[in-house]
Structure 1
């Protein structure tokens, strides 16, 4: 298969996902449709390295991930991160629910080791899945080594549609309040300001606009991302901190001091290709899930996901009730553990765009729904899952 044919095929799959999402008004998320099509492709005629063949090797995907995550930091002010403390508590409660149910009910049914391997990939991303897979392999648990990878690549099949469903309910409720005026205008304005404050490039205020070129925007984004990576490397002997977590934080700081503008990647005309690359990298993980592997572990796989989501819902519902956050928003924030960034960003925007075409209404919905979804995704997938994997791998 030629490179250009591979590129046409994988981009066409993403296009089909988009069209289905638009047609169904996001009831069927594009991520879900694309994941199904990639899985079918890998089981039939796709070469296993079709994504790399199309021009997206892992090195390119990691580069885009750094730029995207740093760019996401420009959407959040330091004040917004403080304001999102409820989101952090709810996200942690959802993870606690998964751990509690899987290590109690799940252990009784499938055994301790199976559930120990299941927890970190279920609440995290590829790093935690790889940690548990390698740990199981070293312990001589070949089936569980595969189980760790498959539960990671399959968890989104439950997370995508569920998130779309609860966000639609939340969005409709907020939209009704906004249109009736019961969602106070000053409350919306305050949230919009916190989520996306007007930013001036204070450090370059005397720079003529003609010199603020696309390459200058890319350079500043790259520099901030590199500083995050360098800081993570320097801290490594003392404490392990994900460079992606620092990239988000550094993006917030760089925007606050006027080094980066808000949505710098969009203004550099690089956001679309970056999302394309990262989505292809995510779906590349599905090449690991062969039919034989799924048949062998289908029962514990489905059971772990169902039990985990049940525990997540119960704990997030209770904590959300205490913190006076709607059960829909609390559950959506917890569900980010099943996929993280960029799916949290994509699904939230799909839902918002399906609910209204009015820009002011979309802005109001975005200000309420997107910041907690982004923060929830980074807390669960980027931070907590890796910590859990580091602890749980010692139990094998």
Structure 2
């Protein structure tokens, strides 16, 4: 079976690249795969990157709030990594009260219109605690009840370093399968559990070496003070390290974000690659006193070196940071295809199995606000 996939908020194509790789053959010889049908994003450079590397077919530019969802081509699968700005712990965490918080609802609207066989939705781990947990429950409730048939949901907090990704990137991914399919998606079992099995930032960047003329491999020119400060920051350390002489320290009041001028540790996965932030947030090399190049960041995100990002340096940095790592997408999409092909694979219990359904049911029965908030806090907002 060929699942024609549509994607909102497609970014440069990390999820699509991972989705197009698996080809699963059932015990009866039927093939299961994912093909591109349409994609949407608001950013012009991002869409040019998608067209360069994934497909030029049915590329739909613009704000999702302004496009005609009823005119979208028919699909069998939907992906939407709805914007995380209002759910990230690095920020004001406005959740549903922010400008971007309600954008997940446009994915739900597409589900209502098209009733795809399955969908995959992705967001940051901070989603579980936004609006005191209410936003997460609202999103799950809307997804479960969407469309003509409704969906069986499997929400899980994936720690990508446990799947061989050279980055401690933790993301909530919700897989929904139409209830009339009578199938249950199971979270694929981690393959790299424990520090000794993690893929390190050094392995990702140096094995194999990056060609000097590789796409997006431009180096940043730093002023002498930044270079001198970086020389005093140990591997894995940041701008607040005690080793930095007083005259080189940043004059910052208030919160001191841990990723400011933070250097990678060569023996550990990278910290989370991000696409926003000013000076000092560009990720810094473990050996050399400089920021990473965009190609090095792309390596940490598991993009191949022949994947060419289009746009200026900061635009490319944003695209890379906001993307789903293709290798992570491949693992999850392969598990979805195996589910439909009814092929067994190793799996683990999802983070919220049973408790989400229970809480949603109590919400439907109009549980008191105080009781519901207590349950949400106890069950969904545990710190990772």
What is the TM-score when the length of structure 1 is the normalising length?
A: 0.24
Structure showing greater relative contact order (alpha-carbon pairs closer than 8 Å, 6 or more residues apart): 1
Structure richer in strand, relative to its length: 2
